Copies of this chain bind each other. A is one copy, B any other.
């Protein structure tokens, strides 16, 4: 059955941020699950295709997945340190993209919008004094 798919979905549900296929696979194996990497990839694709999980590519070209609470169109505010993710709505951006597109004669407009930053937890955890990272 889609026992495997559900298992993969479950891992995503209990994750705070986006996870990679390899990442999910590693955790499942560590938990003792008997599943192949190929199946994890297929489950993730299926979940993404059916809109059950969101996907985005990291800077290094890796696909990462997340089971978001909202089923509606939304974007993400992601902490680039710990991965903590906040689902955000951006009606203004939606309108802007649509407007910019038609303004230039484009149709069937879609867009990708992601916001990155350092969350409160991570910014306070960062060493205040001493050499503040590299400059």
Contact = CB atoms under 8 A, between A and B. Distances in A.
Number of copies: 2
A107 B100 contact: no
B96 A92 contact: yes
A88 interface: yes
Contacts of A108: 117-118, 123
Nearest to A88: B100
B106 A79 contact: yes
Nearest to A117: B106
Determine chain A's interface SS by DSSP, over half rule: strand
A109 B116 contact: yes
Contacts of A101: 77, 115, 117
Interface of A: 57, 61, 63, 77, 79, 86, 88, 90, 92-93, 96-97, 100-101, 104-120, 123
28 contacts: A61-B63, A79-B106, A86-B104, A88-B100, A90-B96, A90-B100, A92-B92, A93-B93, A93-B113, A97-B115, A100-B115, A104-B119, A104-B120, A105-B119, A105-B120, A106-B115, A106-B117, A107-B117, A107-B123, A108-B118, A108-B123, A109-B117, A110-B115, A111-B115, A112-B112, A112-B114, A112-B116, A113-B113
